[in-house]
Every structure is written in structure tokens, then in C-alpha cells.
Structure 1
């Protein structure tokens, strides 16, 4: 399949790495890189759906790449004085005090240490309010702040309710009003069915939590994800894309996401001190449920021991958020770089080297 787009001189190795990805894929992908405010890599190829080629404007579901978008919104609200990571959640959301959570700070919710990785009752996944209410009443699995474990879906319910309590708005509205419209980003949280989006497909053998071998904790993971990634029908449904699921429902282009991180890195969205607060280490260690090495800021993933954000010497200050199936979005702030890899072919983490190969080629180029 043909690779489309262009790279600036010096980035030819990135194009070669992307060509290898497109040659091997059964779907499509795009990779965008900005350096100091200007695009230096814009590549795309493959198919967005059967018989539909991937184009420069093809949008894809970002899955947990959405969490980086939401973390950006929360950083903006912090800069506006509406949200304080050091304050107790109950200052904004009094009902959260139930079941021993009265002293939990906002930072523990955002850094995946609050101990609420799933919702106890079996509620509709797309109902933000019902799930938030249930979590407010729920007892944590551990003393908040003592363990870190990825809150795959519940991060979204908790962040949505916090944002609503301090602004009166849902996160879809905030993404539109604070990010998409003022900065011309093709990015949505809550996508109408009339907006074309690439069709997601699972690669053969796709599975989640590939670091996990314990079958008892595997059942916890299944409870966390609620079967969302088990079926193309579920993750491709207009209802899923239309719901404002802050943990994984945003839709956007690679260019929009790379530009978002460029704006964030360069201080155009929040002051430097707020970004520094959001991207310093708030939690790290081995995931208490998934056995995967983790390192989090306030909603952002940070450079980790397994190279999620490139080679070890690429940028120790790297931050962003990855997404199920292979998406990778973030910034190398000390190098003035931001990037986004989007795809509609979901591959298991232990066999997926696509984004890593692109970041290695990018590192060699700079």
C-alpha cells in the first residue's frame, strides 16, 4: 500500500519506518509530528474502512488517548483556579465522602491511585452520571494513595463528574470550547453519527493486559473493561462514539493530537508551572492489577521503563497518553517535539511495535 504525505528533510527515516507499518497492516494509520509549532511529519496510508482509503483528514477513535485530552482540560481548569489537585475531592463533590473517601485528594483520582478501578453494580457503560454516583458510594479496593493501578474506564467517570462539578459543563462541551474551536483541532468527545470515523478492526490474536498472567486478577480486568474491546460491533457503534466517555471515547486526527500536544508543550494552553505540576511524577510502580510498569502525572502517562514514549534518552520529561490497540500521543518537551500515531487496527501490546518504531526513527532524526 502507498504511503501518502510528506516529511521535512532529515526525517526520511521516519517515512521509511511508517512505510513498513503500512506494508504490514490490514487497516490504516497516520503519524504526525510537530517541532516548535510547525509540522515536520505528516504521513498516512492504508484503509479507513473496506474500500475506503485513509486520507489526511481521516479520524479515528482514540481510546485511552482520550485521557490525555481530558488531562489537558483539567490542567486548564487548574490554571483557571477552578480545580486544585491538592484539594479533597469532597470540596467539589461532597457525595464522594462515602465509604471512607472523605480525605481523598483530587490528585489520587487523576494519578490512578484512588482504588476504584471498576464500578461495583452492573450499570450501562455509557451512563456517566450513574457510574459516577456509584463510584461516589463505593469503597476503594485499597487505602487510596497506597497502590497504583490503571483505572481504564472509571478514570473517565470520575474526571467527568469533577469537571461538571466545577464548571457545570460536560467534558464534551469543554473539549469543544477550550480546545477544538479556538485552536482549529479536528477533535471531539461526543461524536455525531454523521461524522465519518475509521472502522476499527482487531488484529488476529488481539488481547488486553498482556503483562498479566494471574487468572484471578484477569477477572478483575474483564470487569474493568466490560467487554468493550471484545467486539467490533461495540467499539464501532455510533452510541459509543456519541457518548462523552472521558476514558476512551474521543475521536480525532493524528494532526489534531500532535498539534494539541504542541500547544500544551509550548505554554499556549496552560502556564509552565501548571504543566510542570501536571507532568511531574505523582504515582509510579507495577500496576497492582495488570502487572505493567506505570508512571503517571495528573492524568498524563510519563516516560516509563518499557519505553512507551521512546528510547530512554529521547526525553526523560516525555508525557502523553497511549490508547488501546496501538495509539500513541505525546510530547518530548525538551526537544520541542509533539507527535501522534493513530490507527484503526488494534494489535496486542506484546507484539505491537508500530509506535515504538516510529519514535525510534524520530529519535534518530533529531
Structure 2
């Protein structure tokens, strides 16, 4: 597979590693890196869809990479004094106090400890308002704050409703207003059918929750994801891409995602104390449902024992958010480096080494 793009002197090993990654992907891949405001890596290979080459402008569904964008928006609202991590959710959303949730904090929602990993009611996957209404009346599976478990989709419903309550806006409109338009970022939430997006595909044997061996909790996972990743028909549908799902339907380019984290490091989006607050440890441990090691700030993933954000020593202060099937987006604050790996071929976590290979090469170069 032909590698296209450029790297700055000193990053040649990253290009070599990217060639290896491209060879292990039957779809398309992109990798973008910024260092202190300057682009140092912009590489792509493969195809976005039949007959269409992957370019630096190729947009792709970001899946849970969207959570990092939304965490940025929450940090911006925190900096404006509109949303407080330590405040009770019910202060902004009174109905949420039902079913023993009166003391749940915004931070518990953002750090995946609230105990609402799935929607109990029969509500459409793309129905933000209906899902938020159902979650407001739902009992948590555990005492909020006592356990950590990834809230794959419900994170989005909960945060979307919080944002709507404090701003009066949908999260997609806020993304456009605060990030995309003023900073020239090709990022959307609620993407119209007219916008070209890479066609997603599943690698043979693709599956989720590869750390999990328990059949009972596997059924909980199935309730969490609601079949979203079982078929390319759903994830490639205009309805899914058009939904403003703050947990996973964002669309963007590798360049824009890397630039987003570069802007965060530069202090262009939120003051340093607010970013420090958002990227310190708020929850950590083994996922109570998935058995995977977790480490969260306020909506951001943090460096973990399995090297999600690079090899040992890359940057203990790393933060960002990964996405289903292999996407990896984030920053190494100690080095002033931000990065984004995008792909349209979903590979299972226990066999997918693509982002790890790239971050290892970047670690040596940067």
C-alpha cells in the first residue's frame, strides 16, 4: 500500500512505522502529529471507499474519539463557570435526582462512575432526549462513585442533556460554535448526508470487549452497545452519522483531531488550571463490567497500564480518547505533542497493534 504525505526531519522512523501499519490495514489509515503548534507528521494510505483514496482531508466516524471532543467542550463550559464538576447533576437537571441520584456529581458522570452503563427503557439508539429522560428515572447499578465502568453510549446521553440544560444548545451546535468555526477544525456532530465520510468496514473476526470472559457480563455489554458495532449497515447509515451522539457519532479528520489537542496544550481553548483539573485522575481501576484497566479524568482517558497512550515513559500525563476499532487521539503534554490515528477498518483490541506501533515510533522521534 502506497504511503502518501510528509514528515519533518527527525520523524522518518514514524513514516517507516506507518508503512507497516498501512500494510496491516485493508481499508485506509491516516496519522497526524503536531508539536508545539507545528505539523510534523501528516501521512495517509489506502482507500476511504471504493475507488476513493485516503487523503489528509478524509473524514471518518470517530466513535468514542468523540468523547474527547465533548470533554473539551465541558472544560470550556467549566472555564466559563457554566458547569462545575463538583456540583450535583440535579442542580442543572432537577429530574435526575430521582431513583437515589440526588447526590450524583457532574464529575461522576464524566468519569464513568455513575452506574448507568445502559438505558433500561426501550428507546432508539439515536434518541438523545428519550434516552436522557429514561436515565433520569433509572436506578444506578451501584452506588455512584464506588465503581468505574465504561459508559459507552450513556455517557453521551447524559452529557448532552447537561450541556443542553446549561447552554440551551445542542452539543453539535456548540461544537461548531466553540471549536470548528473559530479554529477551522473539520469536526462535526450531526453530520449531514451531503458530507463525504469514509466507509467503515469490520476486519474479519472483529469483536468488542476482548478483555471480558464472563458470559453474564457479556450480556450487559450487549445491552450497552445495542448492536451498534455488530454491522456496518448501522455505523455507515446517514441516521447514525446524522445523530448528535456525544459518545460516538462525531466525524472528523486526523489533522483536525491532532490540532484540537494541540490547541488544548497551547492554552488556546481553556486556561491551564482547568485543563489540569480535567486531566487529573478522577477514576481508576478495572472496569466492573468489561475487566479492562481504566483511567479517567473528566471525560478524557488518561495513561493506563496497557499503553493506550504510548509505551512506558512516553508521557505519564498523557490524555485523550480512543475510538472503537482502533482510532487513537490525544496528547503528551510533557513533550508538547498531539496526535491522531484514524482508520475505517475496525480491528479487535486484542489483535490491533496499529496505534501502538505508531506511538512507539513517535516516542523515539519526539
Alignment partner, residue 61 of structure 2:
61
**What SS is found at the alignment partner of 1:270?**
coil
Matched, 1:360 2:350: no
**What SS is found at the alignment partner of 1:123?**
coil
Alignment partner, residue 125 of structure 2:
125
Alignment partner, residue 80 of structure 1:
80
Matched, 1:110 2:110: yes
Following the alignment from structure 1 to structure 2, what is the Cα–Cα distance between the partners of residues 158 and 213? 28
Matched, 1:205 2:198: no
Following the alignment from structure 2 to structure 1, what is the Cα–Cα distance between the partners of residues 113 and 66? 19
Following the alignment from structure 2 to structure 1, what is the Cα–Cα distance between the partners of residues 339 and 144? 33
TM-superposed deviation, 1:179: 0.2
Q: How does 1:221-300 map to 2 (within 5 A)?
A: 221-300=221-300
TM score, norm. by length of structure 2: 1.00
Alignment partner, residue 170 of structure 1:
170
Following the alignment from structure 2 to structure 1, what is the Cα–Cα distance between the partners of residues 162 and 74? 9
Matched, 1:190 2:187: no
Following the alignment from structure 1 to structure 2, what is the Cα–Cα distance between the partners of residues 51 and 73? 36
Following the alignment from structure 2 to structure 1, what is the Cα–Cα distance between the partners of residues 62 and 228? 14
Alignment partner, residue 320 of structure 1:
320
Matched, 1:41 2:41: yes
Confirm or deny: 8 A CA contact 2:21 2:357 kept in the other structure.
no
Alignment partner, residue 94 of structure 2:
94
Runs of 4+ in structure 1 over 3 Å off: none
**What SS is found at the alignment partner of 2:339?**
strand
**What SS is found at the alignment partner of 1:100?**
coil
Following the alignment from structure 2 to structure 1, what is the Cα–Cα distance between the partners of residues 121 and 36? 47
TM-superposed deviation, 1:290: 0.0
TM score, norm. by length of structure 1: 1.00
Following the alignment from structure 1 to structure 2, what is the Cα–Cα distance between the partners of residues 244 and 336? 31
CA-to-aligned-CA distance 1:175-213 (integer Å, 9 cap, x gap): 000000000000001101000000000000000000000
TM-superposed deviation, 1:363: 0.3
**What SS is found at the alignment partner of 2:277?**
helix
Gaps of 5+ in 1: none
Following the alignment from structure 1 to structure 2, what is the Cα–Cα distance between the partners of residues 190 and 267? 27
CA-to-aligned-CA distance 1:253-300 (integer Å, 9 cap, x gap): 000000000001111100000000000000000000000000000000
Following the alignment from structure 1 to structure 2, what is the Cα–Cα distance between the partners of residues 213 and 56? 39
CA-to-aligned-CA distance 1:31-67 (integer Å, 9 cap, x gap): 0000000000000010001111111210000000000
TM-superposed deviation, 1:122: 1.7
**What SS is found at the alignment partner of 2:295?**
strand
**What SS is found at the alignment partner of 1:42?**
strand
**What SS is found at the alignment partner of 1:229?**
coil
Following the alignment from structure 1 to structure 2, what is the Cα–Cα distance between the partners of residues 143 and 326? 32
CA-to-aligned-CA distance 1:115-151 (integer Å, 9 cap, x gap): 0000001210101000000000000000000000000
Q: How does 1:333-352 map to 2 (within 5 A)?
A: 333-352=333-352
Q: How large is the Cα RMSD of the aligned pairs?
A: 0.4
Q: How does 1:2-13 map to 2 (within 5 A)?
A: 2-13=2-13
Following the alignment from structure 1 to structure 2, what is the Cα–Cα distance between the partners of residues 278 and 22? 34
TM-superposed deviation, 1:24: 2.3
**What SS is found at the alignment partner of 1:17?**
helix
**What SS is found at the alignment partner of 2:326?**
coil
TM-superposed deviation, 1:23: 1.7
**What SS is found at the alignment partner of 2:98?**
helix
Gaps of 5+ in 2: none
